[in-house]
Chains A and B, each alone.
Chain A
Amino acid sequence: MDIFGSFALLLALGAAVYAFAAGIAGILTRRPLLTKTARNAGMGVFGLVTLAIATIEYGFFTDDFSLSYIVAHSNRALPLYYKFSALWAGQEGSLLFWTWLLSIYAFLALFLNRKKHPELMPHVGVALAGVQIFFLTLNNFVTNPFRVLGGLDTFGTMHIARLSDGSGLNPLLQYYEMVIHPPILYLGYTGFTVPFAFAMAALLGRYPGEKWIHITRRWTMVAWCFQTVGILLGAHWAYAVLGWGGYWAWDPVENAALLPWITGTAFLHSVMMQEKRGMMKVWNVWLVFVTFMLSILGTSLTRTGVVSSVHAFAESSIGGWFFTFLGVILLVCLAAWWKNRDYLRSDNQLDSLVSRESSFLFNNLILLAACFAVLWGTLFPVISEAVTGAKISVGPPFFNKVNVPIALFLLLLTGVGPLLAWRKTSYDALKRNFARPLAGGVAAGVLAFAFGFRQFYPLVCLTVSVFVTLTIAAEFYRGARVIASRDGTNMLYALGELTMRNTRRYGGYVIHFGIVLIFIGISGSAFNQDIQKEMNVGDKIALGPYTILCQNFDQPSTNNYSSDRATLEVFRNGKSEMMLYPEHRTYLASQVSETIVAVESRPLHDLYVVYAGASPETGKPVIHAYLNPLVKWIWFGGIVVVLGTGLAMFPSRRAKLVLRPAMERAWGESASSKVVPAGAPVFRSEGHD
């Protein structure tokens, strides 16, 4: 089995090398056959890596403990779904999984465009193959997951050892979200390779106009959406599994996932400048390049041990490979840009500072500032150690101090930007669009202050959130009202019609609303409460409106783990409301413990209870309870963001030809000729925005 998998990987590397070399030869010699075979080889990589993945998964399911990777990450008692997800539990498997997801994207990009863009696609194929060569080299020669246990004897004969059982899966990964969180996050990371390949191809091939932007918009949105969901699932996993009552700790690995998300967000906004006004071409190309490089950096930070993190894989020698690859990418990007920089000249100039263009400029500036601050804080311990020789920590307070004001300003721009017109916004338009939302936001802030809301940042967050929500609502209302009055339909139908006519614009608003919900949810953390107490049966603790009564302690167990569990009854106003069962599990194969948090999640707050183990002094069980306001809003906001992204990717419905009543007769008369009468006003959708 190991030989089968290894050969599949080796052949995949061969296919990628052929796709790369034949692709370049095809471009230089302009021989279509070469280009075609290069493309087919590029698509073939997917099939070969799939074989390797299927082989190792088969090994997991059949408990093949001759493979060292399976021994390290599985055991017989492990449930089947965790045997499936154990593939990405370690360095070797997760890198193979990365390569597989990349090969899916490459296959789709090459297959779906096989009859389109003949000038562009050969370059795209070469760029994709180049990235695949790097990862397949790692899979084959550095982190091969098909290494067997055993060795050569004195006669040079290979003997394969097979253990009776494995060490088991890391307990922190034995949680249902871990089955879906890494694949989704990796789909985000790997997905940014496609826009990178198209951008590089357009630059090298000097592809005309903004075509590459149109082609890659959906690819970028798909990757961005996966990255968003991956980050949120990771946050939810940290919240539900790590048991410290929070969801974001500014851990280097969390930050690494955030970096390409930020630059990807900047790209999705600034790209509109290029589509609408032919501006920011250099910026857009570099944003795509940087997003891809940050994806690779993020992937490497988890694996190289450069920064310490609870999420990271063991330290390894893989860092040199990744940093060399990053250096090569940077050089290729610089060379491609320098050689073709005249192709990236702007078609238009900025007409006014009070315009949509300038709001995008500021949006990008702020996003990049946030990205830089996160990157700086993440890498500073490494820089400081290199310069001063002393290790330091850059903890969560640094990131909060720097990023909270930036994030709030960004939130404000989320409301301001869409209401500004392209080219120039008049003072009257400003007043008309902003007066009510601004008044609403300020009123909400004043009310909150009057009701005793005194913390500065949550107060600002609330004010800005209400302002942004009102601007979004006003945009929907204005558009729907026009359609309703013109077509004589009700507002609800008009709202649907409006949205479907310009899915990109209104999908974008839905995403913005989701972001507002996430911000509100995060601001709730300023009001977290917690209490920790040693408890015996019959003991009570009070937290906020709740009283928690300890009913029982027991030790349920399965063949995978043993557990200490508390049975807690929660009362509110003297009435029993719910039962909670926080656990402290010890996994039998690895003898590693973890918490299983009991969370009662409600719209206004989460009651979050941790069985924190036994007190070392008294031996009594310790219960740590948290009351975390508005956490549910974060997850709900994430769902809204996904729905908005789906909507924005959906093709807009074609605009109907709508005629004014006065003209309808004329139209009726000439209907037989199927010609629109001259002068008839035709209302079209506004196109993307």
Chain B
Amino acid sequence: MISGIPRSSSAASILGAVLLLCALSPALQAQQTERAKRLGTKLMCVCGCNQILTACNHVGCTYSHTMLQELDERIARGDSDDLILQSFVQEYGRTVLVDPPKTGFTGLVWVIPILAPLMALYLVGELARRWRQRALLSPAGGPQLSSELLERARRQADRQDVE
């Protein structure tokens, strides 16, 4: 008996707490499932299928079921997202993370696809500008004359001048 509290009321409060827990547990489970789904999209299945953990359900996969179970257990234990992801990295290596880290050398994977099109855009812009400039500078109309033809025309003109 708990001192100061009658036996019947103590039993009632325990029963109440159990009932409350039962009532809350589907909501808690649903939250956990949602969290598992969200975290599962941040992890790769390591069986070699190249799919995110929650998408890998191919028959015969020896990893995804165990990994999902592990994820559920860690969520139930109350671990934070970062801690869960870190524990998976420790267990399976960095390949388990869907997104490469945005720091250090691996950050390049994110930076280059943004920089490269910008660079290309600049180059195309520059090319277009030069083309336009050349188009404006070139004499309007008339066919382009070869250097041989121009030279012949110059010689002919010189002869006419002399005459």
Contact = CB atoms under 8 A, between A and B. Distances in A.
**Do A and B make up one complex?**
yes
Interface stretch (B2-10, B19-27, B92-100, B155-163): B92-100
Contact of A393 (B59, B95, B121, B138): B95
Instruction: For the complex of A and B, list the 9 residue pairs with the smallest distance between their C-beta atoms, beginning with the closest.
Output: A395-B98, A349-B135, A350-B131, A369-B117, A349-B131, A373-B113, A593-B59, A393-B95, A310-B49
B109 A394 contact: yes
A252 B50 contact: yes
A392 B52 contact: no
Interface string B101-120: 10011101110110011001
A547 B127 CA distance: 60
Nearest to A613: B59
A362 B55 contact: no
B48 interface: yes
Contacts, number: 136
A387 interface: yes
Contact of B100 (A245, A249, A398): A398
Nearest to B49: A310
A668 interface: no
Nearest to B112: A376
A368 B123 CA distance: 13
Interface string B35-70: 000000100100011111001111110000100000
Interface string A388-420: 101111111110001000100000000000000
Nearest to A364: B124
B132 interface: yes
B60 A351 contact: no
A584 B58 CA distance: 10
Given A349-B131, A361-B124, A392-B95, 18 more contacts: A243-B58, A249-B50, A308-B50, A310-B49, A350-B132, A365-B124, A366-B117, A372-B113, A376-B113, A377-B113, A380-B106, A380-B109, A388-B105, A393-B100, A395-B52, A396-B51, A593-B59, A594-B60
A384 B127 CA distance: 33
14 contacts: A251-B50, A310-B49, A353-B128, A353-B132, A361-B128, A368-B120, A372-B113, A380-B106, A380-B109, A384-B100, A392-B106, A395-B52, A397-B99, A616-B65
Given A252-B50, A365-B121, A369-B120, A384 B60 contact: no
A310 B48 contact: yes
B60 A593 contact: yes
A610 interface: yes
Interface residues of B, number: 43
B113 A402 contact: yes
B95 A398 contact: no
A205 interface: no
B134 interface: yes
Given A349-B134, A362-B124, A393-B98, A242 B109 contact: no
**How would you classify the secondary structure of chain A's contact residues: helix, strand, loop or mixed?**
mixed
B57 A624 contact: yes
A394 B101 CA distance: 10
Interface string A49-85: 0000000000000000000000000000000000000
Contacts of B94: 390-393
- Which of A351, A394, A613 has the most B CB atoms < 10 Å from its CB? A394
A321 B144 CA distance: 48
B66 to A, nearest CB: 9
Nearest to A584: B59
Nearest to B109: A380
B98 A397 contact: yes
B29 to A, nearest CB: 14
A479 interface: no
A502 interface: no
B72 to A, nearest CB: 12
A316 B52 CA distance: 27
A7 B94 CA distance: 49
Nearest to A242: B58
A612 B57 contact: yes
Contacts of B134: 349
B57 to A, nearest CB: 6
A251 B57 CA distance: 16
A242 B99 CA distance: 23
Given A310-B50, A376-B109, A395-B98, A369 B116 contact: yes
Nearest to A346: B131
A317 interface: no
A244 interface: yes
Contact of B97 (A349, A369, A393, A624): A393
A393 B56 CA distance: 15
A243 B57 contact: yes
A392 B100 contact: yes
A624 B58 CA distance: 11
A243 B49 CA distance: 12
A3 interface: no
Contacts of B121: 365
A321 to B, nearest CB: 24
A599 B104 CA distance: 45
Contact of A365 (B50, B110, B117): B117
Interface in A242-280: 242-246, 249-252
Interface string B126-158: 011001101100100000000000000000000
